[in-house]
Structure 1
Amino acid sequence: MGPTREQFIQYAPAALAVAAAAAGPWSAIAAGAAGAGAWAISVSAPALRSLIACGITATGCGIAAHQVLASGMNPLFALGLAVPAGAAALAHHRNLAGELLPALPATTTAAAGAGQSSQAQVITAYWMEFISGPTQTEGRKLIQAGAVLAHLGLDVGDEHMSFTGIITLPQGQQVRVKPADIASVYGIPASQVEMGDPKHYAPNALPVTVHLRKAPEQPQIAAGIPTTVEELWAAHVAIPDGAMPGTALTLTRYDGPLDWEGIATRERKAIGAVNLQDLAGNLDLSSIQIALAPTDKPSQMGVRVMKEHALMHGTMLSDVVDELAMDSRGYVRLGTYIDANAALVPLAQPGSGARHLYLVGGSRSGKSGILEQILLSAHKSRIAVILASPQAGTIAGAGLAAHCGDGLDEAMGALRLAYAVMLDREARYRTPRFPFTDPLIEFILDEAHMLLLASSQYHLEAKAIVEQLTRRSLKRGIGVVLATQTPLAEDLGNSTVIRSQLLIGGGAVFLRCAKGQGSLVGTNAVEGAEGIDLSMIPPQWPGQYAKIADRDMSGLDTEAAARPEDGTFGLGYLLTPGSQAVQFRSLHLDVAPVSLAGSLPPVAVEDCEAWRHREAIMRTPMVDQRGKNLIGSLADLLTKAEQGPPSAAQQGQPAGPQQAQAHPASSAGSAGGDARELLKPRILELLRSGSSPMTAETIARKLGTSVKHVRPRLSELKGRDEVINENTLWRAA
């Protein structure tokens, strides 16, 4: 085999210098031939200029040597002319060697290691100057002092150059040098730095490979196999069976196949809801690596793929304390979206009342932290809070609430109190008037499944009350924050009303759930969150490992503070009405929320009948044993509260003869149409004398007759404009 192109360029000047001494003037032809050959094999401009200069120098020396020998002078003079020719050849050799290294910073103060080549000396010098030290540059901060580069090896080829080594630290320390740090020192993209996985190596010794110059890739790929992100998208995502059929991807940022952003566009058609699990399967990624960002156009959807999650380091609560109070639109900050924008949720809507919030999250998912943050936001916004916590002692900020029901029975009492306050406001505010003279109220029900599950002793009553609260409380200035551990229908008492009203009336926060309990498909489907499986959110960030080397092994390290990247607390999806669920992370509680509350006392509920009789109301069941006939007016509730809770025997007894005699209208109502006609004046008298509207069931109970006889009479009276029906509550016109 002949010499390579690199060897020809490197050693041609030396051969030219020797040939010039013998060829004399004919060496000019050799110099021209060398220059033409260098041009033909596409030598870079600096190497070509160096080669021509070397050839001219060697030619001149050769002509002079030939004339000296021809004139009969001492041959030593001719031999002396070979020195400039050799110096030119050596200069060309150094110029060519320097071209193999990439453009590095102009100055360095590190000393080269003994016995290393010139290229290895430069690499080692820059590593010591900017990464490991010792440094002599004043004011410069090392990336990690002592992180030396051991076992340095070079790989130099025609069109590539790279080096390998092991980043080594003393025992007990951990390598903190990142690929981006090395890339910034050597002036190359971060994608050209490869580091070993810490899970497979000792924490104080990580291998590293740095490609200072990568050869152009010329892959041998079979026809029809997708290679770029756009081709992969078109082949798997945009097909009819894909997650986003009929779309085309336009990249806006690309830093590798696992780190890019783009816009998916569907021509003249809305993209609609996207199944995140299907999209992750199409792209061969995990769902946590993908984030969707809806745009103003329904035909476009932002897509982001992440190698390292953008929310790993979190947003500190103390850094955004000014954003916790409600703004003029009724929004407060709950966390940070994947695109670094503030994640806002409404606690109220000026002119329309309050807002609901549905919160789902299993153990150690960050659910309690969000509830504490909502308590703080309500406190700073001067919103009264009624807190129900069936699992006692789980909410650290309970002192910010106007009333706290801590424990199962007390939580049920707080639920009854919230319902009574709503009935009180319905009686005082016959038509919604804004702004309220009374404060907004946030009713927070944590671990709601403990009251709503079919196995709970309070299942029927709690389900009936929560359904009415979520339906009727918003326009009375009462919002409901309901928290459960899973999105399963069983946790909401198998009530579709509760979930739909919560989602329509505000929004939802979905955090990590237990395996098999976090799917939002099938019976648990939520519009805008199709395909999300909350159990796929890992408890720790991908690539993290136990940082045992950071611990003080001489004893328990009590000063170590938890950092946001230690776990995925608060990571999930935020869903607002009419939009797609977007990945976000709640604020990291670097300080106790109560410490930011200031000296202001908790906001109290207004002085009203329900609040004054709260002790009796909280002990009064509001439904019968069958879970029917929920009390619909404040007057009936106060009457029942004064009588005290009936015994089980009284609740189960059928009406006896004395009861039939006490209410002759009941027997008359069953006798015929004439007797039923007598109900109309009695209904009118009852409604006109009453202080608040009543349901048809309440009217039937007060008159001692069946509700099936009362409803037709109410309809007839309404047709004559003698009574008015407002949200199933009847009152005199």
Structure 2
Amino acid sequence: MGPTRAQFIQYAPAALAVVPLVAGPWSALVAAAAGAGAWAVDTSAPVLRSLIACGFTATGCGIAAGEVLASGMNPLIALGLAVPAGAAALAHHRNIAGHTPALLPTATGAGAAVGQTSQAQVITAYWREFISGPTQTEGRTLIQAGANLEHVGLEIDGDHVAFTGIITLPQGQQVRVKAADIASVYGVPTSQVELGDPKHYAPNALPVTVHLKVPAEQPQITAGAPTTPEEQWAAYVGVPEGAMPGTTLTLTRYDGPKDWEGIATRERKAIGTVNIQDLAGNLNLSTIQIALAPTDKPSQVGVRVMKEHALMHGTMLSAVVDELSMDSRGYVRAGTYVDGRAALLPLAQPGSGARHLYLVGGSRSGKSGLLEQILLSAHRSGIAVVLASPQAGTIAGASLSAYLGDGLDEAMGALRLAYALMLDREARYRSPAFPFTDPLLLFVVDEAHMLLSASSPHHLEAKAIVEQLTRRSLKRGIGVVLATQTPLAEDLGNSTVIRSQLLIGGGAVFLRCAKGQGSLVGANAVEGAEGIDLSMIPSQWPGQYAKVADRDMSGLATKAAAKPEDGTFGLGYLLTPGSQAVQFRSLYLDVPPVSLAGGERPVGIEYCDAWRERDAIAQTPMVDKRGKNLIGSLADLLAAAEGAPSSQEAPHHTPAGPHAPTTPAGPARPGGAAGSSDGQELIKPRILELLQEHSIPMTAETIARKLETPANRIKPRLSELKKQNKVTNENGLWRAA
């Protein structure tokens, strides 16, 4: 069986390389036979050209060897002529190889230079075959004929292999070879091809660098770089320029680099206030992922870093309804801190008066929901509410208020009434040790900037009244709740008095604000909340995206139940006097707060001169045209209100419930107001009922005012009840036996 076509093409050049040593000039016949044989077996044109070239090289070497031997020269010279013939045979073997020669060098040590030369030859062959020519396979177009690659150099360093060169063309031509063309030829990404900028080189000479092999990027840690939370804290936070210089971190829980808790400690020195923005920058986190919790020691503060926010799923209002009533310290539950503890809000200070509250929150931040929650807590705690809502119809829990000013002018009337009630209580309770028997009163102003800002028509009067209320009302049992959309000073009429008194007298709740309007730095700085930017509170939780579902319009759901994790409503910071602002979230209103009131009528305000003349007072401006000289006494106020229309009708929300007194608008009761039938025997049951219902000591004047009966009629009845051992009297204070 004769040789195959492939064997003939492969081994014929080797024979041509040996024949010259023995056949001399006859090797030409062998070369011709090899060429004819290759043509006969129908080989491809490139292989045929390579075989003929190899034959010619071997023939020339054979003729030269024959002449050397015939002339009697040294036979070693003839043997040396076989080396070019062998090189031609090796080149032909590479041309017919079925696979692409490897571009990576295999030679090492002493043979490295030989490997580099081989690589350079292969790189140049590829360039000529596909880019510049002259070699061109049928059916393939060169990228730019004549664009040769010269001055080829190899860069081999471990796993990195690259070659450099210069693309050259004759003078007057321009290089048009692109990086993508070169990348396709050598099978590498375009990003691994670097072409020189034509602006800095001649048009016909452009340098090129091709990275044939790039080592895979390994996530390596630089020697000495901080990796653990303790090391990062020491490197970025505890340093002199950090957010908490001089502190060290001790971990108490670790569930990953972005989910841990710890205690920051400064040795023998108070930490003070912490800039949340700076701390987030030190730890390379967003502000919403960091929460600080004060401890019993001023030299320590708790730190929590969260990958998924702990308050994302919220706390349901219906689940903690029993915690909405005021406790013995005067606190109600407003939400949940980030560490899971109940977030308590002060509404009163038992024994000394009420508390203020400063509430900040933009649109869709949860401010209205928190106000509804506060109204419900006041109702369940027996606190009467005067509500001013300049933007009419925005508070769903308005029905829980004893007096409602709905609309801009009506809200100003509610503000005047609150001031009049304070003057009335000051006139009746002059001693610091007064027997406080009237209900606590909460004056709530929603969208307070609509009354206090310089653009409001009531700016001067509202500013003067609110300044006096925040200064003087707490000891008279009247707390002020001001809600604005931003913490900017202009929202409070540029009054530093109002803000400072609100913060000193109670606390603050800061919710999300509009971009650029929520920074608590500079002129808007609040002690204990330095560095907080409320506009950085996102509308969606980190890692959560708006979910848009494909729906079939034929069965489109018109109602969808909202979930707490659908938005960051109610997420913010709670600041109480003497503490650091702590991240918290208000309760999620899974049920309407009004429904939890049980249908009871709102807590009423005591019957007094200011309440009796409430309608006239609401219409009476309390400053002059220049906005100065605020009326300072109840007598002057009532005198100014005499010219205004006075009505004895009940307010829009008639006071009712166990804490509400009877007003003249109610049905006539025996022994009630002056001029009615005496019915003295019916007065005593009413006195007993009043004392038993309130369970607090009262003076005879207070009992008379609540029963709308002259005091000279009440005192004899009290003496009779005392003889019957039904009431007791201690230092002028009467209570049920």
TM-score, length basis structure 2: 0.57
1:566 counterpart letter in structure 2: D
1:549 CA drift (Å): 3.4
1:85-164 superposed matches below 5 A = none
* 1:559-570 equivalences in 2 (<5 Å): 559-570=559-570
Cα distance change of structure 1 residues 563 and 617 upon mapping to structure 2, 3 Å threshold:
same
Deviations 1:365-394 (A, max 9, x none): 000000000000000011100000000000
Once the two structures are superposed, what CA deviation does each residue of 1:385-429 show, in whole Å capped at 9, x if it has no partner?
Answer: 000000000000100100000000000000000000000000000
Tell me the secondary structure at the aligned position of residue 466 of structure 1.
Answer: helix
How high is the sequence identity, in percent, across the aligned residues?
A: 85
Alignment of 1:199-598 (within 5 A): 220-433=220-433, 436-549=436-549, 554-598=554-598
Kindly tell me: are residues 624 and 293 of structure 1, through their superposed partners in 2, closer, same or farther at Cα, counting changes over 3 Å? same
CA 1:423–1:635 in 2, change beyond 3 Å: closer, same or farther? Answer: same
Distance in 2 between the 1:479 and 1:604 partners? Answer: 16
- TM-superposition CA deviations, 1:546-576 (whole Å, max 9, x none): 3333856544312420000000000000000
- Aligned equivalents of 2:241, 2:573: Cα separation in 1: 25
8 Å CA contact 1:230–1:250 kept in 2: the answer is yes
Aligned to 1:673: none
Q: Supply the AA of the counterpart residue of 1:278.
A: D
Aligned partners of 1:483 and 1:618: how far apart in 2?
21
Distance 1:418 1:355, change over 3 A: same
Query: Which amino acid is 1:517 matched to?
Result: Q
Task: For residue 228 of structure 1, report the CA deviation from its aligned partner.
Answer: 1.3
**Distance in 1 of aligned mates of 2:391 and 2:486:** 16
Q: Once the two structures are superposed, what CA deviation does each residue of 1:498-545 show, in whole Å capped at 9, x if it has no partner?
A: 000000000000000000000000000000000000000001111112
Query: For the Cα contact (< 8 Å) 1:336–1:342, is it kept in 2?
Result: yes
Question: Distance between the aligned counterparts of 2:432 and 2:394, measured in 1?
Answer: 35
**Residue matched to 1:628:** 628
Instruction: Look up the SS of the partner of 1:580 in the other structure.
Output: coil
Q: Distance in 2 between matches of 1:402 and 1:444?
A: 11
Structure 1: runs of 5+ lacking an equivalent: 1-217, 646-733
Distance 2:565 2:219 in 1: 38
Q: Write the distance in 2 (CA, Å) between the matches of 1:526 and 1:367.
A: 19
Label 1:319 to 1:241 Cα distance change in 2 as closer, same or farther (>3 A).
same
Task: Please give the alpha-carbon distance, in whole angstroms, between the structure 2 residues aligned to 1:637 and 1:245.
Answer: 56
State the SS of the aligned residue for 1:549.
coil
Residue identity opposite 1:515 in structure 2:
K
- 1:321-350 superposed Cα distances (whole Å, 9 cap, x missing partner): 000011111110000000100000111011
- Confirm or deny: 8 A CA contact 1:360 1:510 kept in the other structure: yes
Give the letter for the 1:424 counterpart: D
Distance 1:363 1:356 in 2: 23
Contact 1:352–1:434 (Cα < 8 Å) also in 2? no
Deviation at 1:220, TM superposition (A): 4.7
1:449 deviation in Å?
A: 0.2
**How far off is 1:455 after superposition?**
1.0
Instruction: Look up the SS of the partner of 1:279 in the other structure.
Output: helix
| Matched-pair contact (CA < 8 Å) for 1:362–1:485 | yes
Q: Is the 8 A contact 1:350 1:435 kept in 2?
A: no
Instruction: Name the structure 2 match of 1:120.
Output: none
Q: Distance in 2 between matches of 1:306 and 1:550?
A: 32
Residue identity opposite 1:610 in structure 2: A
**Contact (CA 8 Å) 1:351, 1:435: kept in 2 or not?**
no
Look up the equivalent residue of 1:315 and give its one-letter code: T
1:300 and 1:550 map into 2 onto residues whose CA distance is: 51
Mapped partners of 2:220, 2:460: distance in 1: 68
Q: Equivalents in 2 of 1:433, 1:568: separation in Å?
A: 45
CA contact (8 A) 1:317 1:588 kept: yes
Q: How many residues align?
A: 428
Asked if structure 2 preserves the Cα contact closer than 8 Å seen for 1:572 and 1:584, the reply is yes
277-286 or 548-557, larger mean C-alpha shift: 548-557
Choose 1 or 2 for highest CA Rg: 2
Q: CA RMSD in A?
A: 1.4
Amino acid at match of 1:456: S
Structure 2 Cα separation of the partners of residues 387 and 220 of structure 1: 62
Q: Which residue identity lines up with residue 284 of structure 1 in the other structure? A: N
The 1-side partners of 2:454 and 2:431 are apart by 36
AA aligned opposite 1:473 = S
Instruction: Provide the C-alpha distance between the structure 2 equivalents of 1:632 and 1:221, rounded to a whole number of angstroms.
Output: 71
**Per the alignment, in what secondary structure is the counterpart of residue 385 of structure 1?**
strand
One-letter code aligned to 2:287: S
1:178-189 matches, within 5 Å, as none
Structure 1 counterpart of 2:401, which letter?
A
- Deviation string, structure 1 residues 115-172 (Cα, Å, up to 9, x no partner): xxxxxxxxxxxxxxxxxxxxxxxxxxxxxxxxxxxxxxxxxxxxxxxxxxxxxxxxxx
CA separation in 2, counterparts of 1:560 and 1:569?
17
Q: Which amino acid aligns with 2:326?
A: M
1:68-108 Cα deviation digits (max 9, x unpaired): xxxxxxxxxxxxxxxxxxxxxxxxxxxxxxxxxxxxxxxxx
CA distance in 2, matches of 1:594, 1:283: 43
Instruction: State the SS of the aligned residue for 2:628.
Output: coil
User: Unpaired runs of 5+ in structure 2?
Assistant: 1-217, 646-737
Equivalent in the alignment of 1:160: none
Distance in structure 1 (CA, Å) of the matches to 2:396 and 2:575: 26
C-alpha distance in 2, partners of 1:430/1:382?
Answer: 24
**TM-superposition CA deviations, 1:455-485 (whole Å, max 9, x none):** 1110000000000000000000000000000
Whole-Å separation in 2 of the counterparts to 1:365 and 1:241: 34
| Correspondence 1:610 to 2:610 | yes
Instruction: State the distance in 2 between where 1:365 and 1:434 align.
Output: 41
- Aligned partners of 2:552, 2:424: CA distance in 1, in Å? 60
Deviations 1:251-284 (A, max 9, x none): 1111111101110000000000000000000000
Moved beyond 6 Å, runs of 4+: none
1:654-673 → structure 2 map (5 Å cutoff):
none
CA drift of 1:643 comes to 3.1
- 8 Å contact 1:358–1:481 — kept in the other structure? yes
The amino acid of 2:520's aligned partner reads L
Deviation of the 1:219 alpha carbon: 7.3
Q: Which amino acid aligns with 1:544?
A: Q
Q: Distance in 2 between matches of 1:537 and 1:293?
A: 18
Distance 2:435 2:585 in 1: 33
